[in-house]
Structure 1
Amino acid sequence: MHFVTGGAFNGKSNWVRKTYPINDQNSTWVSGYAGEQIPDSLLPATEYWIVSGIEQYVKDWLIACDEKAVREKWLGKLTEWSCLDGDQTMILIGSDISKGIVPASHEERLWRDVTGRIFQDTAKICDRVDVIWYGINIQIK
């Protein structure tokens, strides 16, 4: 699995498209920004599975669940994805929302904190982690 993170509008998705030979025939791309749900099954078996907007999924899940349940749900997905066969690549994209001013509302602080913990969980499990700033990657794992 490959985790790609960095600031909002810093070119993460474009970098993934340039780095991998992704096209409509060999990939499935789901986006939390577009309101698309992460599928329960990774079928059909495409060569590339891309899940973008991880922080948006966290925000949506926190509406219905507490932090523990959200992390368990995400860890369950990571465990499932780590069992993909060798012909499939899972790419996870999330915007770093931990920088800047601490949010004033409890809900926004919780979202930021849970997202940071989930990104840590993701980085631990993934084989590769890249940070993208201004369209340039730095591989940190």
Structure 2
Amino acid sequence: MKLQIERIIATLKQDLPTLFAKDISYNIYTEDIFFRDPVNKFQGKFNYRIIFWTLRFHAKLFFTEIAFDLHDVSQSAEDTILAQWTVRGILRVPWQARLFFNGYSTYKLNGEELIYEHIDTWDREPGEIFKQFWQQGEKM
């Protein structure tokens, strides 16, 4: 494993668990990074920064508790890094609805060993995740 890939993996391991609380490092991404998840698709580092700002903003606004549990980050191919994770939280509603879903992020590296593509895959459809907002949370 090259030193740069080890640095990218270390950066992801440091950044991802706290992405709802503080900003990530952007020096491991290309200027024209492409991002896609089940509800968003865009290109460019400015837009990439906006998505993380939006995640932090909505986390503070809509949740009393929210966590990004990072399970593993590893190199799955010469030009690919895979991160497996879970998002869980308690919505700021009287019935304390709980949000929970698993997913993984696939990061593709270019010749300069910077991330040029970030694709998120979720374990369920966005509508199924959204339905959790109306379900009664467990009593504390």
TM-score in same-fold range (> 0.5): no
Bigger relative CO (Cα 8 Å, ≥ 6 apart): 1
Q: Provide TM-score, normalisation by structure 1.
A: 0.28
Q: Which has the higher strand share?
A: 2
- Which of the pair has more CA radius of gyration? 2
